Amino acid sequence: MGRSLYWVGVPLQVLAFIQRADLTRSVWLVPAVVAFAFFVGLGAGWLWAHFTGISREQRGGFLLSSSLGNVGFVGLAIAPFLVDDAYLGWVVLFSLAHNVICSYGLGVAIASYYGEHKWPIHWSTHIRSMLVTPSIWACAIGIWLKLQHIELAEPIAIGIQASVKIVIPMALLLIGIRLSQIRKWDGVSKAIPAVLIKLVLVPLCVGGSLTLLGVPEIPRLAMVLQAGMPCAFAGAILAEEYNVKEETILLSIALSSVGILVTIPLWLWLF
């Protein structure tokens, strides 16, 4: 199921969102917000880990949990119900920028630094992996079609839009399956600070900063919601790839996936 979503489902969803989105607005702001949110989470996580004495073997998982969000499956699944169609392009670009810059960019550097390796992994491997990500190509094709004012044939367009209704429940089902595989809950107290940083501090900083910059309500809410998504499954993938202790990551995913039921209504009211 996960591979089907990665190679087919999510790219179709991205293409569908871009077809409905208005890309003439100030989308240049999105990568800046992504980087800002990441470094707020990373910086706060590092300070907490430093002053509370979290061991090096657990620090990598803690930092990945506090800085990386599930803006793909969860973020793209929630967005159509809470964000105006005109700004779905912002949501898609946030997801793609986060995955490229943070999850499989700077996140790789964190995992590589704190992980244990039998042999070094060449940097070109990570770049190649990012370049062949299906969602990136779907985004590029969608933007090109949009900028060239090329309309898809009606049956194709209808089929792409209909695919979103299948992708969303599949993504949420996959999340439930992954969470059911967690067996140890002894380290909850260590995961809670990472969850609070990711779900509360990061979106508060993003929302406050965008408010000060005068960003309108609807795009501001879109960015806040994406910044406040639960801890990313990408963290678990990186932990496995680079031998980072993953207990904190898995517990953070579980806690934050429940926590957004409280924080999302808060952001809807506040921003």
- pLDDT tens figures, 183-209: 666 678 889 999 999 999 999 999 999
- Token couple for 116: 């244990």
User: For the chain, how many structural domains are there in total?
Assistant: 1
Upper half-sphere CA count for residue 131 (Cβ side, 13 Å) = 6
- Of 60 and 179, the structure prediction assigns the larger pLDDT to 60
Amino acid symbol at 178: R
Q: Is the pLDDT of residue 126 over 60?
A: no
pLDDT of residue 221: 93
Q: pLDDT of 32-89, one tens digit each?
A: 999 999 999 999 999 999 999 888 888 999 999 999 998 877 887 788 788 887 788 7
Which residues constitute the domain of residue 259?
2-270
pTM of the model: 0.79
Q: Is the pLDDT of residue 174 over 70?
A: no
Beta strand segments in 68-153, E: none
Q: pLDDT of 3-25, one tens digit each?
A: 676 677 767 777 777 776 666 66
Query: For position 203, which CATH number holds?
Result: 1.20.1530.20
